[in-house]
Amino acid sequence: MAENIYENQPCNWVTQTVAATDAYPTDGIGGNTATYASSVFKTSYRNAILQTVVFTATALNDTCSVHLGNGSAVFTFAAPSAGTHSIDLGGDAGVFMPGGFHIRFPAGVTRMTAFFRPQ
């Protein structure tokens, strides 16, 4: 089914600031939980369109990753330098994430935010 993308269509986000902890969205406005069972993908939606990932690294090659709801990693990003980096995943069209997603980063990254539209 085709989906129309509108300029002012709402976008949700999930933010994580704790290393080595899974962050599933809970409410679409920044909240997160460590379990799929407590996530928005279990309680309200089944899928997501992932649009952008922003993360703050402290050194070259610090990584962060995005995983499907079932746990398999689909994107791993390595920082080209220390600082904040933004990864655009197809603009408004985004990337379809069946079963939802969660984000995770190891020590070295201090913050990670994923912008998405629940489906």
pLDDT at residue 8 in the model = 54
Q: Which helix (H) or strand (E) holds 76?
A: strand 73-78
Q: Is residue 22 part of a domain?
A: yes
Sign of CA dihedral 72, 30, 10, 113: negative
Residues 6 or more apart whose CB falls under 8 angstroms from that of 101 comprise: 24, 41, 48, 50, 66, 67, 68, 69, 74, 114, 116
Q: Is residue 5 part of a domain?
A: no
- 40-96 pLDDT tens trace: 999 888 999 999 999 999 999 999 999 998 788 899 999 999 999 999 887 677 899
Q: Which residue has the tokens 């984000």?
A: 103
**Residue 99 above 60 pLDDT?**
yes
Q: What is the dihedral angle through the alpha carbons of 81, 85, 89, 91, rounded to the nearest 10 degrees?
A: -140
pLDDT at residue 56 in the model = 94
Q: Is residue 7 part of a domain?
A: no
Q: How many domains does the chain have?
A: 1
pLDDT at residue 72 in the model = 86
- What residue numbers bound the domain in which 30 lies? 12-118
Q: Is residue 2 part of a domain?
A: no
Q: Is residue 48 part of a domain?
A: yes
pLDDT at residue 36 in the model = 92
Residue 72: give its domain's CATH number. Answer: 2.60.120
**Residue 1 above 50 pLDDT?**
no
- 9-28 pLDDT tens trace: 668 999 999 999 999 999 88
